[in-house]
Chain A
Amino acid sequence: MLYRWVCLTLGCLAPVVCHAGAAYLDELVQHARVKQLAQRQEWRDLLHYKPNLFGHGLRSLADDPAFFLAPGGKTDPEAELEATLAAFFSDVEETDKQQNPQCAFIARYHWLNAELAFDPKRLPPRPCKRFDEWYAAINPYEITLVFPAAFVNSPASMYGHTLLRIDAKGQDEHSRLLAYSVSYAAATSETNGLTFAIKGVFGGYPGVFATLPYYMKVKEYNDLENRDIWEYRLNFTPAEIERLLMHLWELQPIYFDYYFFDENCSYHLLALMDVARPGLRLTDRFPLWAIPADTVRVVVEESGLLKEVVYRPARATWLRHAQRSMDSGQQDLAKALANSGPTELSARLVPLVPEQRARVLDLAYEYLEYQRMAGARGKIESPAVTAARLRALLLARNQLDVPPAPPVPVPRVRPDEGHGSARVGVGIGTDDKTGFQEIRLRPVYHDLLDPEEGYGRGSQIEFFNLALRHTDGDGIHVERLNLVDITSLAPRNRLLKPLSWNIDARFERRRFPDGGRPLVFALSGGPGLAYELAPDVLAYGYLEGDAGASRRFEPDYALGLGPSLGVLAQIAPSWRFDAYARAIRYGVGDAHDARALGVVQAFSFGRRFDLRFEVGREREFDRAWNTAAAYWLVYF
């Protein structure tokens, strides 16, 4: 029956050939059953089978029907294996539009051949010209995992992204840009941000693998998005690299439904690595969700896999570094040059020695480029004027015989060395003279006082941050649930003037005049400014709006506005504090005032543990009370 299916569906013309093929196919199928190949991890990894979350059985993560040769292949490894073997007998000729199954599923072919030792007389190997050309063009020699890190004023970017780079033979640090990068992403031309977000979370888009020259990615991350890039060179053997690329070839025309939380860019790259090295099973460690930074961690922690880490700073990072080694007069000159050009300001350049002149011109050029790529120049002048000034700056720089500026020093701590993305904690304290004990749970990700090494200072993102409290004499209740809490403190300096902001959606308890503390839904947020008073001291101020909703408000809601000030400082490597004061006047709805001030101190023990002390005084509805608490937090 199998051979008839093969002949009909794959266009086998000569019944004689079919018949002979059928006999050998049966032999191979029997051999595969005896060896239980369909149960092997290699087959599971190649087909991306994962156990069903509920119930028994397996299901492949691939959603494209073209990935499966058997009708039930998505859930039946054995049928898929046998249909694959049958497909290898096809004599379909390779063209620009189609491939022979031996080539289209070349990783499967090679593994099954290794396991079953195909007889070339009875199952002739097909030439795979397209694969060979592609493989030769890539000329793979080494695999690197690339991690674009966070950038200032974008807490979202802390979440991270990963892609692979395939380095060719003979490539070294002088020619890295010429390598090919492999990334997995949702393929869509959707322009509505909200639609994109929702569909991205629920698998509404197909995800595909894309291969692009690495220099395009560097431009995108380093220059456009101003993200530092960390490159983790890996120790895959030539055979492993070949397997990975063969599987990538199989996947290139295939789509997987893209799920932002679990089957995202980072997850699928791990799946490629699982195929390269059977037994690695990196994807098994991410059954529920895959945070890119966590996927980098498992690769780094895998013994013997990491060779070297290379740091590639973004333009914005370079700008901040360059400013630090320049006095304010020269920084001002650089800014003026970016706005007026070297000819107009030649008088101010002449007194400087060539070395200083070069540094000022370098800063002026990079600053102007930074602004142009951020889209900030178009409002001031036409692109032609900007282009002319950029060229004038380069021409002035060209006259000087000074070597390029030294590179930005590599940060002490890498993003993968930061604290774990989940956090739990226990605490005790008093609130309005009543004692309580509390449990805190936070699946992701980082707040302002968590150990900051490897994370961006002043960036906070938290999802589903839950506090469960047992109050003496009252029982256990939800004290607070932050659905989403994002804060970005972006310090302003002479050249860079970002706007800070925060947003917070939560359920929290508020104290009402009758003493009750019901749960209130609140949404707050607003713009702010931040300044570095000293290298490790950040002063900030916000104007916040707050909207609270509760039946207990009269009438059901309260809208308010008010300032919030604070100082976030790092006193010692393991000791940070945040001192804050805020006031909100609720003028609409249930009119009243609210104020709070306090200090939170955090002591970290490595990047696994944190001890916090909070003291504060709050006031709402004309009642004031004090709070004090201590928490022990664990990151994992």
Chain B
Amino acid sequence: MKNKSLLAALLAIVPIASWAGADGDCGLGSRVFDGQKGVAPQVLAITTNGTLGHQTFAVTSGTSGCNPNATVKSNWKVSLFIDENVNKLARDMSVGGGETLDALAALIGVSAEHKAAFFQATKEHFGQIYASDSVTSKEVAVSLKQVLAANSELAQYAVSI
């Protein structure tokens, strides 16, 4: 179930744009039991804290989106969030609500009274934000920025993306 090619497939729907960072990704280490399903890995998985290999999610210093003291730099926060959650954001925007979209709203500082308008705008412009089958997360961010900028109520938030 856990698989380097799975990770690639996961990212293939919306490939990570190269965020011009000198460092690697924020803490996604290798996974043990890669691609090994079935009984034997299950039995072995029991002796590794009952989980399949995510022990190796250790943040090392100097990784992109993360500073050496292992929190996410504020100018990377929104991009990293969109990048990591690009599929879930698509899901939420298509129906006009959901936890991931809610968190994005909080991240860019949408106030309580503008939240409904934010959800409505993303729903109406879903086709524009996720404009193609191979859209990248950077393109999603840019399109979202444009949608916000064109909306009188939400234009103030466009700068946060």
Is B71 engaged at the interface, CB distance under 8 Å to the other chain?
Answer: yes
Is A224 engaged at the interface, CB distance under 8 Å to the other chain?
Answer: yes
Is B54 engaged at the interface, CB distance under 8 Å to the other chain?
Answer: yes
> Which residues of chain A come closer than 8 Å to B34, judged between CB atoms?
191
Residue on A nearest B1 in the bound complex, by CB: A374
| CA gap between A314 and B102 in the complex, in Å | 18
| CA gap between A194 and B56 in the complex, in Å | 16
> Interface code B23-44, partner A: CB below 8 Å = 1, 0 otherwise?
0001101101111101111111
Q: Which of B5-58 contact A (CB under 8 A)?
A: 5-6, 9-10, 12-14, 26-27, 29-30, 32-36, 38-58
> Which residues of chain B come closer than 8 Å to A174, judged between CB atoms?
99, 102-103, 105-106
> Which residues of chain A come closer than 8 Å to B57, judged between CB atoms?
183, 185, 210, 212, 216, 220
Taking the closest CB of chain B, its distance from the CB of A317, in whole angstroms, is 15
The 8 Å CB contact of A175, one of B44, B72, B98, B106, is: B106
A190→B32 contact, CB < 8 A: yes
> Which residues of chain A come closer than 8 Å to B98, judged between CB atoms?
404
> Which residues of chain B come closer than 8 Å to A402, judged between CB atoms?
95
B72→A484 contact, CB < 8 A: no
Is A631 engaged at the interface, CB distance under 8 Å to the other chain?
Answer: no
Is A90 engaged at the interface, CB distance under 8 Å to the other chain?
Answer: no
> Interface code A604-633, partner B: CB below 8 Å = 1, 0 otherwise?
000000000000000000000000000000
Residue on A nearest B33 in the bound complex, by CB: A193
Taking the closest CB of chain A, its distance from the CB of B36, in whole angstroms, is 6
Of the listed stretches A129-137, A418-426, A427-435, A577-585, name the one at the interface; the rest are far from the partner chain.
A129-137
Known: A365-B91, A373-B6, A391-B90. A211 touches B70 (CB 8 A): yes
Is B111 engaged at the interface, CB distance under 8 Å to the other chain?
Answer: no
Residue on B nearest A386 in the bound complex, by CB: B13
> Which residues of chain B come closer than 8 Å to A220, judged between CB atoms?
54, 57
B42→A486 contact, CB < 8 A: yes
Is B87 engaged at the interface, CB distance under 8 Å to the other chain?
Answer: yes
A390→B85 contact, CB < 8 A: no
Is A548 engaged at the interface, CB distance under 8 Å to the other chain?
Answer: no
A224→B2 contact, CB < 8 A: yes
Taking the closest CB of chain B, its distance from the CB of A615, in whole angstroms, is 30
> Which residues of chain B come closer than 8 Å to A311, judged between CB atoms?
none
A372→B9 contact, CB < 8 A: yes
| Residue with the greatest number of chain A CB neighbours at <10 A, chosen from B87, B90, B127 | B87
A200→B47 contact, CB < 8 A: yes
Taking the closest CB of chain B, its distance from the CB of A300, in whole angstroms, is 19
Taking the closest CB of chain A, its distance from the CB of B81, in whole angstroms, is 7
Known: A384-B12, A387-B134. A219 touches B43 (CB 8 A): no
Known: A193-B32, A397-B95. A96 touches B68 (CB 8 A): yes
Taking the closest CB of chain A, its distance from the CB of B142, in whole angstroms, is 18
> Interface code A293-322, partner B: CB below 8 Å = 1, 0 otherwise?
000000000000000000000000000000
Known: A161-B51, A210-B59, A225-B51. A404 touches B103 (CB 8 A): no
| CA gap between A137 and B22 in the complex, in Å | 22
Taking the closest CB of chain B, its distance from the CB of A75, in whole angstroms, is 28
The 8 Å CB contact of A188, one of B55, B90, B133, is: B55
A196→B48 contact, CB < 8 A: yes
Q: Which of A350-393 contact B (CB under 8 A)?
A: 365, 369, 372-375, 377-378, 383-384, 386-388, 390-391
Taking the closest CB of chain B, its distance from the CB of A522, in whole angstroms, is 16
Taking the closest CB of chain A, its distance from the CB of B94, in whole angstroms, is 4
Is A197 engaged at the interface, CB distance under 8 Å to the other chain?
Answer: yes
Known: A193-B44, A197-B47. A387 touches B85 (CB 8 A): no
| CA gap between A484 and B96 in the complex, in Å | 49
Q: How many residues of B contact A (CB 8 A)?
A: 73
A193→B54 contact, CB < 8 A: no
Q: Which of B97-144 contact A (CB under 8 A)?
A: 97-100, 102-103, 105-107, 123, 126-127, 130, 133-134
Known: A188-B55, A264-B49, A265-B49. A398 touches B39 (CB 8 A): no
A403→B9 contact, CB < 8 A: no
B48→A390 contact, CB < 8 A: no
Is B160 engaged at the interface, CB distance under 8 Å to the other chain?
Answer: no
> Which residues of chain A come closer than 8 Å to B48, judged between CB atoms?
186, 196-197, 200, 260
Residue on B nearest A488 in the bound complex, by CB: B42
Is A560 engaged at the interface, CB distance under 8 Å to the other chain?
Answer: no
A210→B42 contact, CB < 8 A: no
A154→B42 contact, CB < 8 A: yes
Taking the closest CB of chain A, its distance from the CB of B144, in whole angstroms, is 15
Taking the closest CB of chain B, its distance from the CB of A381, in whole angstroms, is 11
B39→A157 contact, CB < 8 A: no
The 8 Å CB contact of A252, one of B1, B35, B70, B72, is: B70
B100→A156 contact, CB < 8 A: no
A486→B43 contact, CB < 8 A: yes
> Which residues of chain A come closer than 8 Å to B94, judged between CB atoms?
394-395, 397-398
B9→A155 contact, CB < 8 A: no
B51→A156 contact, CB < 8 A: yes
> Interface code A162-174, partner B: CB below 8 Å = 1, 0 otherwise?
0000000001001
Q: Which of A71-99 contact B (CB under 8 A)?
A: 96
| CA gap between A378 and B6 in the complex, in Å | 9
Is B75 engaged at the interface, CB distance under 8 Å to the other chain?
Answer: no
Is B152 engaged at the interface, CB distance under 8 Å to the other chain?
Answer: no
> Which residues of chain A come closer than 8 Å to B133, judged between CB atoms?
384, 387-388, 391
Beyond A137-B72, A378-B9, 5 additional pairs, beta carbon < 8 A: A148-B51, A156-B52, A375-B1, A375-B6, A503-B39
Could you pull out 28 A-B pairs where Cβ atoms are within 8 angstroms? A134-B69, A134-B70, A154-B42, A155-B42, A161-B49, A175-B102, A176-B99, A180-B71, A193-B36, A193-B44, A197-B44, A201-B47, A213-B84, A215-B103, A224-B1, A365-B91, A372-B9, A374-B1, A394-B90, A395-B126, A398-B94, A398-B95, A398-B126, A398-B127, A404-B97, A404-B98, A484-B46, A488-B42
Residues of B bordering A, CB below 8 Å: 1-3, 5-6, 9-10, 12-14, 26-27, 29-30, 32-36, 38-59, 68-72, 74, 80-81, 84-85, 87-88, 90-91, 94-100, 102-103, 105-107, 123, 126-127, 130, 133-134
Q: Which 4 pairs from chain A and chain B are nearest by CB?
A: A159-B50, A185-B55, A175-B106, A137-B71
